[in-house]
């Protein structure tokens, strides 16, 4: 009798799935192979709903299926965003959010801190760019989906999160960081000696383009003859903000080309007649994504000299697609190419002058432009001085 009941349930699930698949295929004009795969998915879902030992949350089941599909791509930059994660992502790019003030990268070998917001809770708690996160509140990173790591690190303002950190040359150590509201000023600037201006961009968020233009205009009013653009520890961000900045300093022509799998090509261009002054760009191993787009455009158009070490090498483009139930899908849809047609994905930007950094960058709110402890900045000043003097 049990076998008959089981068989009946199985047949019902299969027939129901076939009818559902047939209707969906007719509606969306899906081919036979895709129809078979869709049938497999629906059959599994119906069988789980009918036979799993406990009650099944259907929304959670669908979310898990989508998440599993995305994980099968093997791309750390593509993730299914459940409602909490989707809400968090929107907060990330708004310029104000709660957390510990760090930017992270996700690779096969774990989670690494790309940069630390100056004077933020992470910086005050002792975290540094290059640190690897081994566990969050005692839970090993390899037991957490990458998409969940940031969510677990964030939380109610005033509470703490414990991070087990690996730092080269030191024993692994747990840091307790108190969460705060993070308000990000992405651009800071200063006039240096010898008519040199200095601008540092920490990341590209909604207001970065406006902040950069304001800083640039201020330095020009102070008779700047050359610019040092510091993109070290800049993990990237919004490509639209990167393009806004590029249009201020990249000469007429392409800034970046974005090419999708089917060959569809979108080219962002600059209408700037010519550069107004020489530029030296500072890079490090944590310079990534949109900051690599900007430095690559400046290098290819010979509008700037690049100093530092090879950049991170993230040359893919993601889009966020809103889905039902306040969730979203962040998916890699294209790769970007510099004006000369270079793809830097997994390769990075190679500096014109390779200069290692002897000491970690300072993590203070005030700009530290003392070149005596910064070999890369010293080299930038040397190059810029020669260019200004002709």
Alpha-carbon separation of residue 343 from 36, 83, 296, 315 (angstroms): 37, 33, 10, 6
For residues 88 and 79, is the Cβ–Cβ distance under 8 A?
no
> Catalytic residue among 289, 290, 291, 311, which?
289
Per-residue CA distances from 374 to 86, 102, 289, 339 (Å): 39, 22, 24, 30
CA 367 to chain centre: 24
Of the residues 92, 131, 284, 300, only one is catalytic, namely 300
Integer-rounded Cα Rg, in Å, for the chain is: 25
3-class DSSP state of 264 = coil
Say if residues 200 and 192 touch (Cβ distance below 8 Å): no
* Rounded CA separation 362/228 (Å): 17
Is 314 designated active site?
yes
* 78 counts as catalytic: no
Closest CA to 141 of 106, 117, 167: 106
- Cβ contacts of 286 within 8 Å, gap of 6 or more: 105, 114, 115, 129, 130, 232, 233, 234, 235, 312
Return d(Cα 311, Cα 290) in angstroms, integer.
11
Pairing of strands 139-140, 110-116: unpaired
Q: How far is CA 385 from CA 144, 277, 279, 369, 379, in A?
A: 49, 12, 11, 16, 10
Q: Which of 190, 314, 330, 379 is catalytic?
A: 314
Per the DSSP assignment, residues forming a β-bridge with 335 are 259, 316
Q: CB count, 10 Å around CB of 174?
A: 12
Least Cα distance to 141 among 170, 166, 158, 168 occurs for 166
DSSP annotation of 312 reads -
- Catalytic sites, residue numbers: 289, 300, 314
């Amino acid at each position: 009798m049990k076998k008959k009941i089981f068989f009946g349930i199985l047949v019902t699930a299969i027939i129901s799935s076939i009818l559902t698949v047939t209707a969906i295929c007719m509606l969306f004009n899906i081919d036979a192979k895709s129809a078979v795969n869709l049938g497999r998915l629906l059959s599994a879902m119906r069988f789980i709903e009918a036979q799993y030992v406990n009650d099944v949350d259907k929304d959670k089941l669908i979310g898990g299926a989508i998440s599993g599909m995305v994980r099968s791509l093997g791309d750390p930059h593509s993730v299914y965003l459940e409602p909490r994660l989707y809400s968090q992502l929107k907060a990330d790019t708004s310029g104000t959010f709660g957390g510990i003030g760090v930017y992270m990268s996700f690779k096969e070998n774990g989670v690494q801190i790309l940069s630390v917001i100056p004077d933020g809770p992470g910086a005050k708690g002792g975290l540094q760019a290059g640190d690897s996160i081994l566990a969050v509140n005692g839970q090993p990173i390899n037991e957490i989906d990458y998409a969940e790591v940031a969510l677990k690190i964030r939380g109610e303002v005033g509470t703490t999160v414990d991070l087990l950190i690996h730092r080269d040359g030191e024993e692994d150590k747990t840091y307790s960081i108190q969460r705060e509201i993070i308000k990000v000023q992405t651009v800071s600037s200063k006039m240096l000696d010898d008519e040199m201006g200095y601008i540092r961009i920490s990341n590209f968020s909604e207001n970065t383009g406006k902040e950069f233009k304001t800083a640039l205009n201020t330095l020009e009013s102070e008779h700047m003859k050359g610019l040092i653009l510091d993109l070290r520890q800049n993990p990237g961000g919004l490509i639209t903000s990167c393009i806004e900045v590029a249009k201020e300093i990249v000469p007429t022509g392409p800034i970046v080309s974005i090419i999708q799998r089917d060959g569809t090509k979108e080219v962002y261009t600059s209408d700037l007649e010519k550069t107004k002054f020489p530029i030296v760009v500072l890079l490090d191993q944590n310079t990534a994504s949109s900051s690599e787009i900007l430095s690559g455009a400046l290098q290819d158009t010979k509008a700037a000299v690049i100093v530092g070490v090879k950049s991170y090498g993230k040359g893919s483009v993601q889009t966020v697609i809103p889905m039902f139930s306040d969730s979203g899908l962040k998916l890699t849809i294209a790769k970007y190419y510099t004006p000369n047609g270079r793809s830097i994905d997994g390769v990075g930007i190679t500096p014109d002058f390779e200069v290692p950094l002897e000491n970690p960058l300072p993590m203070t709110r005030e700009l530290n432009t003392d070149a005596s402890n910064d070999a890369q900045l010293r080299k930038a000043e040397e190059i810029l001085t020669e260019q200004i003097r002709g």
